[in-house]
């Protein structure tokens, strides 16, 4: 298979100790990439090439990892987009959200927008790639999977539904090369102006189960989340569909 696969990786942080490590989801993106492309997988990080935590990705069996040199707080969107275009990427894999830094989870969306590529959220498995079209499984809540056919190039985020990353071994981690590349630095004006405050965990909604029998409780625990509203539109033109979406977004207050 000659599809060019690139995985984007970031620096992670262990949830209880806060120590830097390979990011859990990004490691899954590398794992999926290795399963698809083997040694042809290209892995890239935008940041500091001296960061030792990057070696944990090399330890998964990569002989090198490209690092686009960026200072903290830079806007990496442009350089990543240029890099992906220049490299001729066909399939780009990344975690859903970084464990350090802003961690907004916006990067895949902005990147896909900038490149004009389709984006798949929660990629679980790539079943086949033929003729510039990928057949993939997308993870939905409660273990459900949706089969999609998407034309390449495409960008996909992975979450915990993607395969578990392989162990990072010391030998390849030590031998691998962190290849720094000098690229343009764009200041992130939005971040510079913004005020950051620590995230607070959202209070959990109490689950009231009124079930009387064991069977009812089982049903309550396993039932699909059923939205009350929404409607299924079939055989409509693109214009009608788009109008319906805009109408919904206005109703929900997303668009004004």
* Contact flag: residue 177 with other proteins (CB under 8 A): no
Place of tokens 């510079």: 192
State both tokens at 92: 């780009």
Between 41 and 129, name the residue whose CB sits nearer to other proteins.
41
Among 172, 180, 188, 248, binds other proteins (CB under 8 A): 172
The piece of 3-11, 53-61, 147-155, 211-219 that touches other proteins (CB under 8 A) is 53-61
Q: Which stretch binds other proteins (CB under 8 A): 70-78, 128-136, 161-169, 237-245?
A: 161-169
Locate 85 and state its tokens. 């275009």
Query: Does residue 170 bind other proteins (CB under 8 A)?
Result: yes
Applying CB under 8 A, what is the total number of residues that bind other proteins? 17
Of residues 11, 34, 60, 124, which one binds other proteins by CB under 8 A?
Answer: 60
Closest CA to 95 of 29, 22, 5, 37: 29
For residue 157, what is the enclosing H or E element? strand 154-158
Alpha carbons 108 and 85: distance in angstroms, whole number: 15
In Å, how far from its chain's centre is CA 210? 37
Binding flag, residue 14, other proteins (CB under 8 A): yes
Residue 124 is inside which H or E element, if any? strand 123-130
Min dist. Cβ of residue 167 to other proteins (A): 4
- The smaller minimum CB distance to other proteins, of residues 17 and 197, is found at 17
CA atoms of 25 and 149, how far apart (whole Å):
23
Kindly state the tokens that stand for 126: 């790539």
201 interacts with other proteins by CB under 8 A: no
Point out which residues bind other proteins (CB under 8 A).
Answer: 14, 16-17, 19, 21, 59-61, 166-172, 174-175
């Amino acid at each position: 298979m000659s599809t060019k696969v690139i995985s984007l990786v970031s620096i992670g942080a262990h949830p209880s100790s806060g120590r830097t490590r390979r990011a859990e989801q990004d490691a899954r993106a590398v794992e999926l990439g290795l399963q698809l492309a083997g040694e042809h997988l290209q892995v890239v990080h935008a940041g500091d090439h001296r960061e030792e935590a990057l070696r944990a990705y090399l330890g998964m069996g990569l002989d090198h990892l490209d690092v686009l040199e960026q200072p903290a707080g830079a806007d990496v969107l442009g350089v990543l987009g240029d890099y992906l275009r220049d490299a001729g990427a066909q399939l780009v894999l990344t975690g859903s959200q970084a464990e350090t830094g802003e961690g907004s989870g916006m990067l895949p969306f902005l990147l896909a927008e900038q490149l004009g590529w389709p984006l798949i959220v929660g990629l679980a498995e790539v079943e086949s790639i033929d003729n510039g079209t990928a057949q993939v499984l997308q993870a939905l809540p409660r273990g459900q999977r949706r089969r999609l056919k998407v034309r390449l190039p495409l960008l996909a985020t992975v979450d915990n539904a993607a395969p578990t990353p392989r162990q990072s071994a010391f030998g390849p981690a030590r031998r691998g090369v962190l290849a720094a590349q000098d690229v343009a630095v764009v200041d992130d004006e939005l971040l510079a102006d913004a005020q950051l405050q620590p995230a607070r965990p959202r209070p959990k909604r109490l689950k009231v189960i009124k079930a009387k029998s064991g069977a009812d409780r089982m049903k309550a625990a396993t039932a699909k989340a059923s939205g009350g509203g929404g409607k299924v539109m079939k055989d409509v033109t693109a214009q009608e569909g788009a109008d319906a979406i805009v109408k919904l977004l206005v109703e929900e207050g997303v668009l004004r």
